[in-house]
Chains A and B, each alone.
Chain A
Amino acid sequence: AAGVIQSPRHLIKEKRETATLKCYPIPRHDTVYWYQQGPGQDPQFLISFYEKMQSDKGSIPDRFSAQQFSDYHSELNMSSLELGDSALYFCASSFYSEAFFGQGTRLTVV
């Protein structure tokens, strides 16, 4: 069965650079969620989209932005990267049921 696809799987960026993370939800899933998981931490909700509109917002820094496109894939844009942004970033998708998570993108800021 198709799962949530995230790319890239690993990303290394320098401080103050910009990163773009992509998420391809399970086909027919109309809601996408983004989470950030720091080392040894639990996942923290960042933002979600339903039918291409932002549906909810969590603890997402102003330096980050996201959107969902007409094909339902989503991108998380992160600018002015800081060392503390190093984390595992998860995308999840759902369709009136439990959310299914992707394998995550591990972002390392050096």
Chain B
Amino acid sequence: SQQGEEDPQALSIQEGENATMNCSYKTSINNLQWYRQNSGRGLVHLILIRSNEREKHSGRLRVTLDTSKKSSSLLITASRAADTASYFCATDAGAGGTSYGKLTFGQGTILTVHP
């Protein structure tokens, strides 16, 4: 079953522009994480935001979390061609508490940044 829905499914922008990706989920969560995946490669952890946090920053990344709307957004500022990848949100909804790694992934947004 799918916990997260991401939109848009694909995003194409020019270098220097900002990219915003959204994620919605269905159940209560312990935390929400964003991952990046280059084509057919491994998943790289970007940022984790806990359910009691509303916003978090890491370098050019800004993540927001609205638990009342069960949604999150990932903003990449001043995008670079090297940011081209698929971006997934993943929720940790373990009933027994935080498990960190038992995650339900969204379908992902394919980001293409043109030089």
Contact = CB atoms under 8 A, between A and B. Distances in A.
Given A42-B88, A43-B88, A56-B102, A101 B43 contact: yes
Interface string B22-55: 0000000000010100001111110010000000
Interface residues of B, number: 24
State which size class the interface on A falls in: 20 to 34
Interface string B81-115: 00000001010001000011111111110000000
A106 B39 CA distance: 12
A92 interface: yes
Interface of A: 31, 33, 41-45, 48, 55-56, 58, 88, 90, 92-94, 96-104, 106
Interface of B: 2, 4, 33, 35, 40-45, 48, 88, 90, 94, 99-108
